Every structure is written in structure tokens, then in C-alpha cells.
Amino acid sequence: MTKMIIDSDAHLSEHPAIWEYLDNEYADRKPQAINIGSHSKHYPNRTHVWLIDGELAPKLDGRASFAMSTPPMGYEKSKGISLESQALTDVQERLKSMDMLGIDVAVVYTTLFLHPLTEDVMYEAALIRAFNDFMADVCKNSDGRIKWVAPVPMRNPLEAVKEVKRVKELGAVGIMVLGSVGDTLLHDRSFDPIYAEAEQLSLPICVHIGWAHSSLHQSSDSPATSFILPFELSTVMGLYSFLGGGILDRFPRLKVGFIEGGSIWYSTLVKRMEFWYSTPSAKSWISKKSPTAYLKEHDIYFTCEGDKQELQSLLEIVSDDRLMGFTDFPHTHFKDGKLATPFDNIKESTEICESLKEKLLWKNAKNFYNL
């Protein structure tokens, strides 16, 4: 019997209450939740979106569309879970949801910042600070059961370094980045001060799936394209940067995790990188070692849902000490109006030994997030 369960990747559906934490300087630019009715062709049940500096987020239709479970005012009502739990506006409600799922500790990530929100990088930094302040208060009132990974304003590295320092003091357990910063890959040297600060403070870098690469997303002409290419491939680009871009040569003590991505993409990327690493065509290689050497010698973690194919794919490239189970709550799928129990396929599997179950359910997440 496993000792406990740590959910390595949960979420919240951001609520207008967050913007009460926004700096006074931006009081007249608070994001507004607006009702658009059932006008979206692709997502008619998603009736509310954010209005941020005149732009809608999520953008539900047209080129470069994307869908998110925020603000929690329309579609989220169909999930059978209280809006207060989804939005984290009532911590006790979220704890009840965690109890229902059998989860002892949840590590929470943003939903809204899985896509860039504004071209104004100083305003973006202020929005991120408001989110992090809100989450710090949530965690303080959770009896230690809710932790959070803090986004930082990567498009403004000086502000990002300040935010890394600040959220460490507030109690964040990691730093969230997307798989690229717009069209700039994560191994660009302009981001080195951010990685240096995270390494110094023992905060893991958590590369979360999202709509990161602006040009790739702009080429998406349907919801399917948007999810399969810019969304799914974002963490693949991030993994390339850490295995091939020299980041871990410069910051060897840095922990990095790849959160909520498709495992088969990763194993395929590693195989292709190893192929090109051995060819003269791809010289000179930026990093000092082969991709598999970093996976063996550095603290590189991956989340997984525990199905047989996914586990096999990940175990081809990394040891079982580097795999973490997750729910994605409240983004998880619902069946017949009831929340699926995301860890059941791990707990009830007859093909996963007890020692690996413990690693997937809590041990590895505890080590990664320094809990």
C-alpha cells in the first residue's frame, strides 16, 4: 500500500479574484471576464473569456485559436465539481476535491499563462506577480497540502530574475516556463540569469505544455492543429534545449521537469537527436555531451499517467526514479458527469510493481519539488 499520493501537476481555473492582487499602477487594466454567449463555432459551451488590453483570451475561433478552462463561469459548471474548487477561491473546497481523489498534496500550475497574454512585457510581469501573490495566499491556508509552481515573465529576463527570488521567499516549489519564449528557444543565452538564480535557490525549472511558439501557433488553422502542433510540440522543443542547447553544461545542478507532454514525442526526439549527434552534418553540436548522457547524469524528470505504453516509452530514455504521476485536475476528463480517478490505472495495475507505484505516486515528486 502506497504511503501517500502527490499530484505533480494540478491546475486552477483563474477567477477575477486574482486581479485584486494586481499592482495599483495597472488598476485600470484589470483583465475582465466577459460573457460572449454561445457564439463560438468550435466551443459553443465556453461562454466566458477574458478581455485583456482589448484582446480575448482564450481566442476560441479562427487562426491561432486555443481553448482553456478559464474563467470558471460557463463550461466549468458542467464538470460536477464546485467552481470554488476549480478556481481555488475556496481552499477548503479544493481540499474536499483532493480528498475525493485520494490526493494528499497537489502541486498547482497556472492555466491562463499557458499562452502569452499581452505584448506589454511590464504589464505581463504585473499579471504574473498578481497570480503568484494569490497562489501564495492559497498555499498558506491549505495546511501544507497545496503547493504551487510559479510562472515568471521570461520575455523580460531582468524582471524574471526578480520574480524567481521573490517567489522563493513566498514559498513556490518550482519555476514554470513554456517550451520556448515566443519564437526564442529556451537555450538562448539571454535566459541564463534566470537559470542561474533557479539553480542557486534550488528551484526546479518546470517546462509545462502550452502554446509557446508564436509563429507555429499563428500557422494553426483549426483547433486540432492548435493542440497537436504548437501545444503538443512545445515541451518537445523545450526538451531539445535542455539536451542539446548547453543549458545543463552551464548549470549542472539545475533540476528540470517536463510537465504534461506526450511521452512518445520525447522518446522519438531523443532517438533522432542521438542519430544526428553522431553525424558530421549536425556539427558543431552546442552541448558538450550526447542527449542520453544528460538524461543519465542530470536531474531530468517527466510526468506520466501510468498507462503501459507511456511508461515503456519513457523508460526507454530515463530511469524510473524520474517519473511522476499527475491528474491535471480540474482539466481532467469527466465521464457521465463524474470525475475520473486519474491514479487508478497506476494503483490498480498488475503490471507495475509496488516499488514503482510508490515512485510514481509520491516518492519522485517529493524529490523533484523538494517537498
pLDDT, one tens digit per residue, over 51-105 is 999 999 999 999 999 988 888 877 887 787 899 999 999 999 999 999 988 999 9
Check pLDDT > 50 for residue 307: yes
Q: Are 324 and 360 in contact (CB under 8 A)?
A: yes
In the chain, where are the structural domains located? 6-29+82-368
Q: Which of 252-266, 292-306, 310-324, 332-346 has the lowest mean pLDDT?
A: 332-346
Residue carrying C-alpha cell 513554456 = 178
Cα–Cα dist 336/312, whole Å? 30
* Higher pLDDT among residues 64 and 262, named by residue: 64
Q: What is 6-29+82-368's CATH number, 3.20.20.140, 3.10.440.10, 3.60.20.10, 3.40.640.10?
A: 3.20.20.140
pLDDT of the residue at 43: 86
pTM: 0.95
pLDDT band at 337 (very low <50, low <70, confident <90, very high): very low
